[in-house]
Amino acid sequence: MREATRWLRALLLVGTWTCTGLASAGNAKAAGSAAFDPIYRVLTHPRCLNCHTSTGFPRQGDERRPHDYRVARGTDDHGAAAMRCTACHGTSNNGLFPGAPRWSLAPLSMAWENLGPGQLCQRLKDRRQNGQRSVTQLVEHMSNDPLVSWAWAPGAQRQPIDMPKDDFVRALQAWAVEGAPCP
């Protein structure tokens, strides 16, 4: 009897510990979602996703159609020969076309098309895919890079990111502070 009770108590302890662990994992997942969701919303907005495509071409417009004029990715993500991104896109918006410094596609390793929040988060943090960036460097890049910032002032009739830039930066920092959890 005492033997069984001790065994039962051990089992209960393990069970409790397991449940608590699972609950923490679940809580952590929920916390990751809460922290990453706003970031996910921004990164999958057409202004970002149109260049973070997994296709051999950029996308264009809120409907994300293949870029007009048969524009292609090219071997270095900067367009085909004689059709470089910079053949038409300058370092700032002009009357016709969007522009920002170093206008180009993101490399395929940073393609986010069709990724769920968890997958995108993992890819974002994967140093082999993200240009060897730490979380701190990631946050810095997304907060300050002019090409990223373009998405909030895309010019002409283009819809900017629907979250104020400051809020996005705060969301990034909050996510980083929590250990950059992934959903």
Q: Which of 145, 141, 128, 151 is nearest to 176 (CA)?
A: 141
Tokens 């907005």 belong to: 45
Sites for other proteins among residues 106-135 (CB under 8 A): none
Q: Is 72 in the site for other proteins (CB under 8 A)?
A: yes
Candidates 11, 25, 96, 177; binder of other proteins (CB under 8 A) is 96
Binding piece for other proteins, criterion CB under 8 A, among 12-20, 63-71, 101-109, 160-168: 63-71
With the C-alpha atoms ordered 87, 69, 77, 182, is the resulting torsion angle positive or negative?
positive
Candidates 1, 5, 68, 157; binder of other proteins (CB under 8 A) is 68
Count of positions on this chain that bind other proteins (CB under 8 A): 20
Q: How far is the CB of 79 from other proteins (least distance, A)?
A: 9
66 - beta bridge partners? 59
Q: Are 36 and 121 in contact (CB under 8 A)?
A: yes
Q: How far is the CB of 155 from other proteins (least distance, A)?
A: 13
Q: How far is the CB of 56 from other proteins (least distance, A)?
A: 9
Count each helix (H run) and each strand (E run) in the chain, helices first. 6, 4
